Structure 1
């Protein structure tokens, strides 16, 4: 595979601002040796002996937020959900820029993706952490709950690039989660894009060529191809078309 198509490992930080949170971070850090740790100075001894890089702060934690948002792809908080919402609110930009933000409850029973579940990867990170903690991931995005296609990130782990106006992605995503007829046309790329343990939903019909699709029958078309998309097709399908570009090699 072309090195340019490889997905870089996410930069992950585990954050604790209480004594109990620091103990939880220490336990999880052993399972995630690549993760960095962020903890209040007075609780730093709790993390002694770990190989993970350690970031220690001594002032108000809110002053650390801008640096955390800039430096990491996934921020995992061991603190209450309400506190996290207040802390991150001044730093939010857009789902294309914000890191994934997750919260682990005080008992270590639930892992909650709070921000950037799909594009930022927080949903996948929540499932990974939940498996390590033997906890429950609390996913609320419709495509995960409905176990259907996540239109905005489909094939990302395979190096696919989505090509469509944002309004198309939004409208097509709604058609998918509302179980309306969807044509999935794959003319290129790996066939191993469906990674859920459940079957592809019945309202999504597969095709090998766009020419096989009766466009009037389907609410939306997902087209995996290397072919050029004629402007007339974008116009004909209006906000019903999303195109995916797999790697050429």
Structure 2
């Protein structure tokens, strides 16, 4: 797995203090601080970068250089700073905000695909803070359709409209058939039980497709175009590595 590139960005005295506290626990993170606040940084081994001028002039470079950007700046200010640089959830880095008292860690951008939700939980644990997650599948402790099995090397195969529609069905607790014919069985990583609306099957042929609103299918099989057409926007397929059986 590729190393996650992380930036801790501070523009206030308190922010520099929190960055100094957090940086040793994230040894690969780079601390990015304004020239005025550099003197408030503590003693740590992490690389540091001191910039001059406005933070707004640094955002484009930060977006290009890092996978996770942790701002020790107010949420409103961060929203305004990053807005001109947003592209898509497939391209944008994860963006997190930590409040000035280090009580809350808020994923702002790319919570799922960019990994900001998971990173927020990690950082919150390190700070003994509260992660503020607003993504429906995380709040509801259910399947994140768009990134299911990503840490296992699974690739999602479906039109975007299918992913959107099936995600809505999952979070709305409609009956979902989960068919696993291949891949690791360790795909459910939450500490809570699998939601009751998710029903497990070992073969697609065992599913009464009229009984379930949507179907998640983990398989190495080639999918007949007629199956895609018959299920319309109700099907999402996952492709595990071929060495996962």
Please give the TM-score of this superposition, normalised by the length of structure 2: 0.97
Distance 2:101 2:13 in 1: 13
Indicate which of 119, 126, 136 corresponds to 1:125: 119
Q: How far did 1:45 drift?
A: 3.2
Given candidates 72, 94, 106, the residue that maps to 2:100 is 106
> Residue 162 in 1 paired to residue 163 in 2?
no
- 2:58 is the alignment partner of 1:93: no
**217, 223, 231: which is aligned to 2:217?**
223
Aligned partner of 2:56 in structure 1 is 62
Is 1:25 matched with 2:19? Answer: yes
Note the 1:63-212 alignment, pairs <5 A.
63-212=57-206
Instruction: Determine if contact 2:154/2:238 at 8 Å carries over to the other structure.
Output: yes
Correspondence for 2:34: 40
CA RMSD of aligned residues (A): 0.9
- TM-score, normalised to structure 1's length? 0.96
Does the Cα contact within 8 Å between 2:33 and 2:49 map onto a contact in 1? yes
| Partner of residue 240, structure 1 | 234
Give the ranges of 4+ consecutive aligned residues of structure 1 lying more than 6 Å apart after TM superposition.
none
Partner SS state of residue 216, structure 1: coil
How many matched pairs? Answer: 243
Contact 2:106 2:132 in 1 (8 A): yes
CA distance in 1, matches of 2:55, 2:77: 11
Q: Hey, what's the Cα distance between the residues in 1 that align with 2:158 and 2:4?
A: 25
* Unaligned residue ranges in structure 2 (runs of 5+): none
- CA deviation after TM superposition for structure 1 residue 248, in Å: 1.3
Q: Report SS of the residue matched to 2:118.
A: helix
CA distance in 1 between counterparts of 2:47 and 2:230 reads 53
In structure 2, distance between residues paired with 1:53 and 1:226: 44
Deviations 1:194-235 (A, max 9, x none): 011111001100000001100111110000011101111110
